Chains A and B, each alone.
Chain A
């Protein structure tokens, strides 16, 4: 296992710069998730670490070696791809063994490692099958087996779960996390799914337009986003962001300048004000309700915007009726209206 360190990393295609000088340290054994919308540069960054894209500027270190000029095979990393990329003409056993291609081990040792990896991943039953006879989840496990068997310095995952259905994705999230705890490996994981980021990461790196916007522990980013983008990207459903004018109360910045006010749907409670002195009260006609079981998401109109609040499961308001929702001051996030940066950190 090893550390990964990026220093002022840039990537240009022709004259267009897509990664603008990224600095990042991934500790030994740390699980770091890169998250951001399509085209934010997260996959490009990962592919530069893997050696599949040339580095335009800056430095990548794996362990204590600068790897900028090294071929992928010299970097001792393993990568799991979005569409698995396991070889259809080989059995599960052969696919996993490919991970040991460069290692000079005797046959018995290779076989032992392959079987061990298959066992850990629950693939022993399928070891002599070809990928065509496996389900999506099993295929992804074969890809992980191929990565694991080599005992690499670091694992790179490029959106490995995005082709799986929701249920399988949830299961694989747990499996990957368990695998990380078991192997103690350094992992760089790219996803556009903030749920994966929140549930699996030791540290989340939020990227947008080739920049790192924020990095930190999942709950730190959730409760302390640095700007409107991060605030809305992390957490589901997205944080409501309204102007202080719409909010009514005294929320303006210094000298009464307008600000943006953010409140998570989970913190915006639909129902009567119990006289607790809520800082924020919003009213409007209900446009949609989404009963989730334990609670109900209530969408209501506020000016031109739609705001989402939460109602108890037992009190589902009618669409078209007017509701009021409240939030305490502790749950309000204030952002500068122009720069969209957070005005205070907690």
Chain B
């Protein structure tokens, strides 16, 4: 016998249900469904045989992992996966380092021309990628960077957006921290690396997520700069399922499903660092 007494009518009384909450939850539910459906269809399609892909049931009648086996056995897929990983990781690391170094300098040092430099950096945000691709291409051709990793990566190694984001965050770091470190004997680089950087981890996490996702899914520039199949990144490689072997949706969806995994991992790992107010703990209570 359970010692818990069940009282009848413990459900929520009608008067307590807030009509505003119903509207709010309904809107959130619809939004959630809209977001999740394409993902679910991607996974669903990846588990279907070619004959089943136009059967729109979400749960396949005879789910199979054959597509995954085929994609992974297909020699180039792992190559593309590795290529995408190299590009995304290197570019993300580069942005975290250089954007925050420049952002810190612009936020915390007073020097002649500081405003000008900042505005010049910001103004590049207004130039669309499409306009930059031709100069990038010409530059790559002249330097012999076409069809190389460096050719894929160099335009994104630092970004105006990242610099702007980091500058704004570094401005919120109180000068007292830096002055205390100066008195404690650290040099300026160490102060940036050991004191200022840990104080802006939320911004670094956000920048890492943006940069990684942006480069993981980048299509336009890698398509232009690469010609050999061994250098394709995942998005370019996936399109080859459509071109060479007619449109094999189940293969594209399988490749896409596999490609989603690292982005989910990155997001889940980094999101816990995006906690506001970490920095305030060292200041007045």
Contacts and interface: CB of A to CB of B under 8 A. Distances in A.
A88 B179 contact: no
A82 to B, nearest CB: 8
Nearest to A71: B182
Interface string A7-51: 000000000000000000000000000000000000000000011
A118 interface: no
Nearest to B284: A163
Binding site of A, secondary structure by majority: helix, strand, loop or mixed?
A: loop
A101 B190 CA distance: 11
B185 interface: yes
Contacts of B195: 87
Contacts of A77: 183
A78 to B, nearest CB: 7
Contact of A146 (B182, B184, B280, B284): B184
Contacts of B201: 89
B283 to A, nearest CB: 5
A86 interface: yes
Contacts of B176: 81-83, 85
A135 B285 CA distance: 7
Interface string A297-313: 00000000000000000
Contacts of B285: 134-136, 139, 163
A72 B183 contact: yes
A84 B183 contact: no
B84 to A, nearest CB: 32
B179 A52 contact: yes
A265 interface: no
A72 B280 CA distance: 25
A171 to B, nearest CB: 15
Contacts, number: 82
A85 B184 contact: no
Nearest to A134: B285
A88 B196 CA distance: 11
B281 A72 contact: no
A132 to B, nearest CB: 4
A91 to B, nearest CB: 12
Interface residues of B, number: 23
B198 interface: yes
Contacts of A88: 199, 278-283
Binding site of B, secondary structure by majority: helix, strand, loop or mixed?
A: helix
B179 A81 contact: yes
A99 B179 contact: no
Interface in A77-109: 77-79, 81-89, 98-99, 101-102
A89 B179 contact: no
B180 A85 contact: yes
Contacts of A163: 284-285
A134 to B, nearest CB: 8
Contact of A130 (B174, B177, B180, B281): B281
A73 B284 contact: no
B86 interface: no
A96 to B, nearest CB: 11
A132 B281 contact: yes
Interface string A188-227: 0000000000000000000000000000000000000000
B209 interface: no
Contact of B282 (A52, A78, A86, A101): A86
A89 B180 contact: no
Interface string B183-224: 111100000000100110100000000000000000000000
14 contacts: A52-B179, A73-B184, A78-B183, A82-B176, A82-B284, A83-B284, A84-B282, A84-B283, A84-B284, A85-B179, A88-B282, A89-B201, A98-B181, A130-B281
Interface of A: 50-52, 71-73, 77-79, 81-89, 98-99, 101-102, 130-132, 134-136, 139, 143, 146, 163
Interface of B: 174, 176-177, 179-186, 195, 198-199, 201, 278-285
